Amino acid sequence: MGATIEPILDLKVYRVLNIIGVDEAGRGPLVGNVVAAAVIFPANYYIEGLTDSKKLTEKKREDFYSKITQQCFWSVAEASSVEIDEVNILQATMLAMTRAINNLQLQLISQNQDETFKVLVDGNRCPDVDNCRAIVKGDLIEPVISAASVIAKVTRDRQMKELDVRFPEYGFKNHKGYGTKEHLAALSKYGPIVGQHRYTFAPIKIF
């Protein structure tokens, strides 16, 4: 059995500060937006079994998505494939995260919530926001980041399913935009979709 990973922040801290958990989905795929989510738990909030979205089944992710969006404060933002090509995937990810954080903060301030926020981001880099801490494997360690990972992943997967309806020949509902054999074969046959595929990514550059 692996060692138990303890949260960096005790649950008591969540009662005192507005802790914003942030994560993204869609850095690796060849098509579509990179999506970021920001989540704040209400006081003493807990969901049994919540973890990194990649370790959950699609059904579990959808179940958690429903609970989180109904019971927590949250926001989703994105950077488009065009923006990704303009500024690179890292900067586009930071941009999407910043948008999600700012949107959530504005929601809370408009409801007369505390204007003091602490931001916890999955990974090793923070976006350009105040009072931020990057946590490697944060989606496994901090429940509020796990919640953000679920929101971001479900949102982006739904976008891929919608894109599949428009362009069924690419099989987006199956591979979610990643560079699988099915996707690469479709690219060879039909070419990239303008405004959707990321032309700065290696498999697309040849077109």
pLDDT tens, residue by residue, 66-114: 999 999 999 999 999 999 999 999 999 999 999 999 999 988 887 766 6
Domains of the chain: 11-205 (3.30.420.10)
Question: pLDDT (tens digit, 9 = 90+) per residue, 143-169?
Answer: 999 999 999 999 999 999 999 999 999
Alpha helices of 72-201 — where are they, by DSSP H? Answer: 81-87, 89-110, 138-141, 143-166, 172-175, 181-190
Torsion of CA 55, 60, 62, 66, to 10 degrees: -120
**Dist. CA 119–CA 38, nearest whole Å:** 9
Map residue 116 onto helix, strand or coil: coil
pTM exceeds 0.75? yes
